[in-house]
Structure 1
Amino acid sequence: MAFKNVAVEPKTGKKIYSQEEAYQATLNYFKGDDLAARVWINKYALKDSFGNIYEKNPDDMHRRLAKEIARVEKKYDNPMTEEQVYELLKDFKYIVPQGGPMTGIGNDYQIASLSNCFVVGNEGNSDSYGGILKIDQEQVQLMKRRGGVGHDLSHIRPKGSPVKNSALTSTGIVPFMERYSNSTREVAQDGRRGALMLSVSVKHPDSESFIDAKLEQGKVTGANVSVKIHDDFMQSVESGEPYKQQYPIDAKRPAYEKITDAEKIWKKIVHNAWKSAEPGILFWDTIIKESVPDCYADLGYKTVSTNPCGEIPLCPYDSCRLLAVNLYSYVEKPFTAEAKFNFEQFKEHVGYAQRMMDDIIDLELEKIDAIIEKIDADPEDEEIKSIERKLWEKIQTKANEGRRTGVGITAEGDMLAAVGLRYGTEDATDFSEEIHKTLAIEAYRSSVNLAKERGPFAIYDAEREKNNPLINRLREQDETLYTDMVKYGRRNIALLTIAPTGTTSLMTQTTSGIEPVFMPVYKRRRKVNPNDKEVRVDFVDEVGDSWEEYIVFHHKFVDWMKVNGLDTTIKYSQEELDKMVEKSPYYKATSNDVDWLRKVRMQGRIQKWVDHSISVTINLPNDVEEELVGKLYFEAWKSGCKGVTVYRDGSRSGVLISNKKDEKKKEKFSTFPTKRPEELEADVVRFQNNKDKWVAFIGLVGDLPYEIFTGLQDDEDGILLPRSVTKGKIIKNRDEDGNSRYDFQYTNKRGYKTTIEGLSYKFNPVFWNYAKLISGILRHGMPIHKVVDTVTSLQLDNDTINSWKAGVARALKKYIPNGTIAEGTVCGECGSNNVIYQEGCLTCPDCGSSKCG
């Protein structure tokens, strides 16, 4: 497609494309895939800070990447040419750099790191306020460069421990979880919020509080949380024996010890994961035992936490860049009886992938130099800049010394279907294990060859690694490789991972990571005006909105249809679609079909050939019992997994829907009592609008809002309430005249009960009247996201009331069930209409963008 009147950037002479020009060219590139086109333009196209676009489609991006990688190649012997690199990258067919590398390589408009993942930490495990605030600043400094960050909290002393300051005792872990979470939510990343992982050892005396923190509404909404589980804890759960927690957790003579019930903690972990998909589990002894970098723990490579998605365990101040190999592209004659996987081509390309990853480390080191130069040039005082500068110097040292890489894969689900194997079966798992064993051997072989040409990573020592389980598995498979590694060393301290390839898989138009297909065929809905011409109304929801439904086929399912002579352009009935899927290799191989125990065992077998970790989610239907989660966790531990996450599906209505006819479920709201109980459990939610501080008392039935009282806090007309109070009870009473009133009762730190009488008249009468209105619609079963819409749409003239309205909406959003579709909302980043509420934030599962407030 040709464009006229293309603008030019004056200083560089580069062409500038309009949004529409780039969109049309990219839509053509992706053969009409609107979502892939919008994701690429919004996330990966080269832009300056004014939003000018300098690439019209991904082919321009691949030329940019190839040019820069080839420039690095020229520094070394036997360089790859720019054309060779381009052929591997083009069309997202074989090798796909992810996230940071794809955005940042050759991008002179943005001073940012190429790394996807970082971990930070306190030297000497300091839990002083200075040390804690240093970590807070470090994570913010990394997030502003678009990095995801993880760090561990096990070094913070438990609640009630003596401290030598005016507090006298420590507040424990949870307040600092909130601090780090809030900092994450404050950092803007081009329309996204930062990504944070917080972990703690189950040995820590505050681990139970850590496990519960995310279930307390309004707390720790900006972080993923995972518990580091040790083998002796799992053994205590199995045997029913007591478990010893201590602080410091690794001390031979701890300052504090606590004997606890392992089974009680285990049930709490299982319940919370069943209820909210968190905490995740990190099998820490397995991680450390299998970790190659931990052979150098005394030299600064002791693993302390993971990145936000859990696929890269890291030592403090190390980082990693990610790249995926597209497995589907190595299947010859896919979906036919002659289909086969081209192992020889795969081996060759894995070698190139590892080589390109090492080149990207050199490009990252250039980026870090630019970041440090930027810090030095900034006008701030040297003392203010010192933490940020030292942070990047430490990251620079680790990147240069260890040269860690993150080679992974995508399209495992499609690859298996294309060779005629059903995901989750024993044959499919055997084949997957062979793929990943091959990848590990060839990546390590490439790293050894790079060591011959470029030199090994600075601290390589074969003696240190001789007992590492993964190194010994490689030795058993290929003695020559091991002999060469001992002789020449290895270029990279660790090499492999399997990440959740999110937006990458949208552009490869394949399944993500090692996950199975979500659904081979599904429907989307878009809201329509029934009065418009030529509009088809297929569905009218409970509030009267009209929707058009249309069928979406998974891209590789379309390939299967074409191979089997099926027309991809006609409209099929539901019965025809069901029969079609039954005949395909995707039948009973979706994320909801695959046997959960089989999937865990598959993960464990593949993990043996991945030196970092694997990000994978076990999808469970809504109606499974909690005990199943515990059973899956035990199976994961015994299978050798390094971590595991479960997600129990909620009933999702709205834009993305199943094709089944019988899946509509009753709303939980139907269980609300018709008569207001005498007392209700209550949450206290605080919020601030402009300079005013507000408070909301939210009465609950189960875990759902039933009524709300709101107003200004700490003023002459408001309520004086200690900041530590987050929960209590709302009790219905009568005053001296027999009129009903609502009192709030809470228990203070000393265990005494305190009652605030008359919430109904403590606040401004206008607030009270609106609160009665909102409580009424809550009690009568309107879904919470609809209540929020109603509150938001109120037309009010008074600024104070509008501030109150915004705060109430924000407070209630926290109770919208995760996965609820935000009807009529379009993702501002990728254009998808599959936007959902997640922890009160609007989140797009298609591209990962998130908007809170």
Structure 2
Amino acid sequence: MAVKEIDLKTKNVSKTYTYDEAFKASLEYFQGDELAARVWVNKYALKDSDGNIYESNPDEMHWRLAREIARVEEKYANPMTVTKLYDLLKNFKYIVPQGGPMSGIGNTYQIASLSNCFVIGDDGPSDSYGGIMKVDQEQVQLMKRRGGVGHDLSHIRPKGSPVKNSALTSTGIVPFMERFSNSTREVAQDGRRGALMLSVSIKHPDSESFIDAKMEQGKVTGANVSVKIDDEFMQAVVDGEKYTQSYPVGAKEPKYTKDIDAAALWSKIVHNAWKSAEPGILFWDTIIKESVPDCYADLGYRTVSTNPCGEIPLCPYDSCRLIALNLYSYVENPFTPKAKFNFKLFREHVGYAQRIMDDIIDLELEKIDGILEKVIADPESDTVKRVERELWENIHKKAEEGRRTGVGITAEGDMLAALNLQYGSDVAVDFSIEVHKNLALAAYGSSVELAKERGAFPIFEAAKEANNPFINRLFEADPKLAENMKKYGRRNIAALTIAPTGTTSLMTQTTSGIEPVFLPVYKRRRKVNPNDPETRVDFVDEVGDSWEEYTVFHHKFVTWMEANGYETAKNYTQEELDELVAKSPYYGATSNDVDWVSKVRMQGGVQKWVDHSISVTINLPNDVSEELVGKLYVEAWKSGCKGVTVYRDGSRAGVLVANDKKDEVKTTGFPKKRPDELDADVVRFQNNKEKWIAFVGLIDGKPYEIFTGLSDDEDGILLPKSVLTGKIIKNREEDGTSRYDFQFTNKRGYKTTIEGLSHKFDKEFWNYAKLISGVLRHQMPIEGVIELVAGLQLDSESINTWKNGVERALKKYIPNGTKAKKGNCENCGSDELIYQEGCLICKSCGSSKCG
């Protein structure tokens, strides 16, 4: 074994693998689970900046993690060995580093942070343009290194406030929401966009505008939004009283105050959440009261916002790394009458997880040093680099001084099912609370032991924490812990969270985080060639693509079937599947089955043993009332939750197809199947000196699809100028692919067909046209589509010319009298702009702008 450990510590990782090689090896590792294999290769396999892959399967990753953590362990007393660490990590069975730690530990090819989440913004920042631009740049600098970012907007002065510049008055919060949102969308993160949380206090006079901002299609699409709600507001809602907003928020002598109807604003929050799943709610007084780091607010640890998923409230420039324990693995004899939870092993492993998290802080400090070295070596001037350099210096200071960690869990739903407990039942809720109580005591106990061996976090002071409810709850449950903490201190300022664990749960092949199972059996679709005699076509979508539907079993549901003697290879009918589910512990315990009030109470009960927060969503059926959403929010507040999000089925597009007995799967807002023929308009226009043409397919006179490009070059379309209308006809090529032809009647009365509109124009134009046609088919208002097209960030001059043409072609379909969503008259400055025959007309001064 010693020889093996030496070999592992000096492993050469210069060998590279193709994507197919890594995927094949990972598919074997995950026993045929294609989704898990692709997620691992795409997100977590060791890669360099050119995309070269240095690991073929997760086992190699686990050795990489074990080697690096063991290297840190050797700096301290009683180090864990590399094999001990590997045994805890292997097969995603017990301890699972999440996100940044999994992909970044030991990666010398990329310069990136290990932190999953950050919060930025000075403690009590100014709302000057300089301060706002600084936050914008800090956000971008973090996102380019794959960090999720949160920041609060409560410091920005309300709309209409006087300012000492030529603008005279402030624009308020909303324009800056759009700025930060757009910055997020601009930053590429290895094929995914950044993650941003914007928050604002309900006390802020612009909070209603903040709450409404995302209700307008196409606005603030790059951010999650949450409202920080205080107890005073909630009590005013319950009592039907007025509530006073003020700015600056929290000032003893504010410059501006106004009284509002608390119930009316509350109704708007509830309505918007019911309609669009946002805003989320943060019960801010509960967060601050329970927060251990806020005991050190005078030293820079005042919590101001949260990470994008809401599970880590943070002070400015602090960050957190995440790790999860797989709860299912601590169930012995799962799905049998002998099933029981091994609390002893669980507590032992929680201690190891906390220790590993502390090691990862040291690894993060090394990563930040590397980032700073790169920034200093970059060729830009010190003036340009100053914000980025100071940002990482501040983050380094907070990580070293507070040593914050994020130990959490996944597979709560599967753990309960494996114990034959129904998620949401009273007994299951009580058991979950006991598990999390054990987790909290073990993690804090480990942090105290680490302080004894390695020293407490530098600013620890027991007296500062004397009145903290969370700390006192721990001390009451374990007096020995209280005695040791007061004697030795604690290694970490805060330790616990419950994150969503989306991709993590795909690799553990369990339910996600604290959530119940989505469905024990569901359907997925794969696109197929309808001309292949070996395939089965179950569904044809609105653009004519063919799909096969296939049944997918939740992994642990299969384990239940095996434990109870049911065949897993049998081709079950829907009725047989329904009967199977009804016999299992997953029956009545899916995300849509669980009693919503019970779930809220469970979250509140568990929250008492989590020092940060919990990412959890209350899933509701489509037909629930807004009143129920409001009741759930009030219950969450009363139960001690720190935050809550609701998702009403259909309020956002989903990815899985429910297994039900309806003849057709219906998606809210989804258009009817495309007819074989569409009436069409021909729109001609000129971009600079080029002649362009657009074919707009119509249903009920409204745009349904668009094809456009040059009309007078050798690859374009020549069409008599007299042709203004026709039909777009859908046909198929010999290989089965779709083809769209334009047919018109010439002057002599003969029908003439131009074949393959999709092939006549530049391929890049066609791809963008498909995107825009898809939006049109979902019946987005035309003015919203135009705004979407206008907002496309395209590098090619020819594509930008095409984009301008699409805008002009679609403007003629905006109903006369429609108010422009944004912009002011260039002549008089009024915002009273309306569309008339595709032109913008100012109702105040009568000036117009076309094209």
Q: When the two structures are superposed, what TM-score results if normalisation uses the length of structure 1?
A: 0.80
Find the aligned partners of 2:353 and 2:108 in 1 and give their Cα distance: 24
Which gives a bigger RCO, structure 1 or 2 (Cα 8 Å, sep 6+)? Answer: 1
One-letter code of the match for 2:262?
A
Find the aligned partners of 1:667 and 1:126 in 2 and give their Cα distance: 45
1:640 aligns with 2:640: yes
Find the aligned partners of 1:590 and 1:439 in 2 and give their Cα distance: 25
- Where does 1:125-204 land on structure 2 (aligned, <5 Å)? 125-204=125-204
RMSD: 3.4
1:816, distance to aligned residue in structure 2 (A): 6.1
Find the aligned partners of 2:613 and 2:722 in 1 and give their Cα distance: 52
Find the aligned partners of 1:484 and 1:812 in 2 and give their Cα distance: 64
Give the conservation status (yes or no) of the 8 Å contact 1:19–1:53: yes
Give the conservation status (yes or no) of the 8 Å contact 1:119–1:319: yes
Find the aligned partners of 1:709 and 1:546 in 2 and give their Cα distance: 20
1:558-611: CA deviations, max 9, x gaps?
110111111111101111111111110000000010011110000000000000
Find the aligned partners of 1:57 and 1:64 in 2 and give their Cα distance: 11
One-letter code of the match for 2:596?
W
1:262 aligns with 2:262: yes
Find the aligned partners of 2:26 and 2:16 in 1 and give their Cα distance: 15
- Where does 1:637-786 land on structure 2 (aligned, <5 Å)? 637-650=637-650, 656-662=656-662, 664=664
1:548, distance to aligned residue in structure 2 (A): 2.0
Judge which range, 518-527 or 69-78, deviates more. 518-527
1:455, distance to aligned residue in structure 2 (A): 0.3
1:27 aligns with 2:27: yes
1:69-118: CA deviations, max 9, x gaps?
00000100111111110000000000000000000000000000000000
Q: Which residue of 2 aligns with 1:631?
A: 631
1:690, distance to aligned residue in structure 2 (A): 12
1:656, distance to aligned residue in structure 2 (A): 3.0
Q: Is the alpha carbon distance of 1:490 and 1:544 closer, same or farther for their aligned partners in structure 2, counting shifts above 3 Å?
A: same
Find the aligned partners of 1:690 and 1:40 in 2 and give their Cα distance: 48
SS of residue in 2 equivalent to 1:523: strand
One-letter code of the match for 2:138?
E
SS of residue in 2 equivalent to 1:282: strand
1:32-74: CA deviations, max 9, x gaps?
1111111111111111122221111101000000000000001
SS of residue in 1 equivalent to 2:484: helix
Find the aligned partners of 1:670 and 1:526 in 2 and give their Cα distance: 19
Q: Which residue of 1 aligns with 2:211?
A: 211
Find the aligned partners of 1:300 and 1:359 in 2 and give their Cα distance: 24
SS of residue in 2 equivalent to 1:657: coil
Q: Which residue of 2 aligns with 1:231?
A: 231
Q: Which residue of 2 aligns with 1:322?
A: 322
Find the aligned partners of 1:297 and 1:140 in 2 and give their Cα distance: 26
One-letter code of the match for 1:492?
N
1:560 aligns with 2:560: yes
1:415, distance to aligned residue in structure 2 (A): 0.3
Structure of higher CA gyration radius: 2
SS of residue in 2 equivalent to 1:15: coil
1:605-646: CA deviations, max 9, x gaps?
000000000000001111111111101100000000000000
1:653, distance to aligned residue in structure 2 (A): 9.5
SS of residue in 1 equivalent to 2:376: helix
Q: Which residue of 2 aligns with 1:839?
A: none
Q: Which residue of 1 aligns with 2:365?
A: 365
Q: Is the alpha carbon distance of 1:769 and 1:453 closer, same or farther for their aligned partners in structure 2, counting shifts above 3 Å?
A: farther
1:640-669: CA deviations, max 9, x gaps?
000000001119999732221137577777
Find the aligned partners of 1:453 and 1:471 in 2 and give their Cα distance: 21
1:249 aligns with 2:252: no
One-letter code of the match for 1:477?
A
1:258-314: CA deviations, max 9, x gaps?
111111110110000000000000000000000000000010000000000000000
One-letter code of the match for 2:192?
R
SS of residue in 1 equivalent to 2:600: helix
SS of residue in 2 equivalent to 1:125: coil
Find the aligned partners of 1:438 and 1:224 in 2 and give their Cα distance: 32
Q: Is the alpha carbon distance of 1:670 and 1:407 closer, same or farther for their aligned partners in structure 2, counting shifts above 3 Å?
A: closer
- Where does 1:525-536 land on structure 2 (aligned, <5 Å)? 525-536=525-536
Unmatched tracts of structure 2, length 5 or more? 1-10, 673-686, 709-719, 731-737, 743-755, 782-851
1:21, distance to aligned residue in structure 2 (A): 1.8
Q: Indicate the percent of aligned positions where both proteins have the same amino acid.
A: 73
Q: Is the alpha carbon distance of 1:239 and 1:94 closer, same or farther for their aligned partners in structure 2, counting shifts above 3 Å?
A: same
1:547, distance to aligned residue in structure 2 (A): 2.7
Give the conservation status (yes or no) of the 8 Å contact 2:413–2:515: yes
Q: Which residue of 2 aligns with 1:468?
A: 468
Find the aligned partners of 2:563 and 2:55 in 1 and give their Cα distance: 34
Find the aligned partners of 1:800 and 1:34 in 2 and give their Cα distance: 31
Find the aligned partners of 1:798 and 1:20 in 2 and give their Cα distance: 31
SS of residue in 2 equivalent to 1:199: strand
1:99 aligns with 2:92: no
SS of residue in 1 equivalent to 2:325: strand
Give the conservation status (yes or no) of the 8 Å contact 1:66–1:83: yes
SS of residue in 2 equivalent to 1:532: coil
Find the aligned partners of 1:370 and 1:813 in 2 and give their Cα distance: 48
Q: Which residue of 2 aligns with 1:847?
A: none
Find the aligned partners of 2:538 and 2:125 in 1 and give their Cα distance: 60
SS of residue in 2 equivalent to 1:365: helix
Judge which range, 89-98 or 531-540, deviates more. 531-540
1:415-463: CA deviations, max 9, x gaps?
0000110000000000000000000000000000000000000111111
1:274 aligns with 2:271: no
Q: Which residue of 1 aligns with 2:38?
A: 38
1:103-135: CA deviations, max 9, x gaps?
000000000000000000134320000000000
Unmatched tracts of structure 1, length 5 or more? 1-10, 673-688, 713-764, 778-785, 818-853
Find the aligned partners of 1:257 and 1:216 in 2 and give their Cα distance: 27
1:321, distance to aligned residue in structure 2 (A): 0.1
One-letter code of the match for 1:525?
R
1:653-695: CA deviations, max 9, x gaps?
99732221137577777999xxxxxxxxxxxxxxxx9999x9x
1:240, distance to aligned residue in structure 2 (A): 1.2
Find the aligned partners of 2:741 and 2:331 in 1 and give their Cα distance: 49
Give the conservation status (yes or no) of the 8 Å contact 1:651–1:665: no
Q: When the two structures are superposed, what TM-score results if normalisation uses the length of structure 2?
A: 0.80
Q: Which residue of 2 aligns with 1:75?
A: 75
- Where does 1:298-309 land on structure 2 (aligned, <5 Å)? 298-309=298-309
Q: Is the alpha carbon distance of 1:709 and 1:657 closer, same or farther for their aligned partners in structure 2, counting shifts above 3 Å?
A: closer
Q: Which residue of 2 aligns with 1:621?
A: 621
1:356 aligns with 2:356: yes
Find the aligned partners of 2:688 and 2:29 in 1 and give their Cα distance: 46
Give the conservation status (yes or no) of the 8 Å contact 1:709–1:768: no
Find the aligned partners of 2:778 and 2:387 in 1 and give their Cα distance: 34
Judge which range, 646-655 or 170-179, deviates more. 646-655
1:21-40: CA deviations, max 9, x gaps?
21111111111111111111
Give the conservation status (yes or no) of the 8 Å contact 2:98–2:322: yes
Q: Is the alpha carbon distance of 1:340 and 1:295 closer, same or farther for their aligned partners in structure 2, counting shifts above 3 Å?
A: same
Give the conservation status (yes or no) of the 8 Å contact 1:710–1:767: no
One-letter code of the match for 1:147?
G
Find the aligned partners of 1:710 and 1:256 in 2 and give their Cα distance: 50
Give the conservation status (yes or no) of the 8 Å contact 1:196–1:224: yes
- Where does 1:534-545 land on structure 2 (aligned, <5 Å)? 534-541=534-541, 545=545
Find the aligned partners of 1:169 and 1:338 in 2 and give their Cα distance: 70
Q: How many residues align?
A: 723
One-letter code of the match for 2:604?
G
Find the aligned partners of 2:478 and 2:780 in 1 and give their Cα distance: 54
1:538, distance to aligned residue in structure 2 (A): 3.2
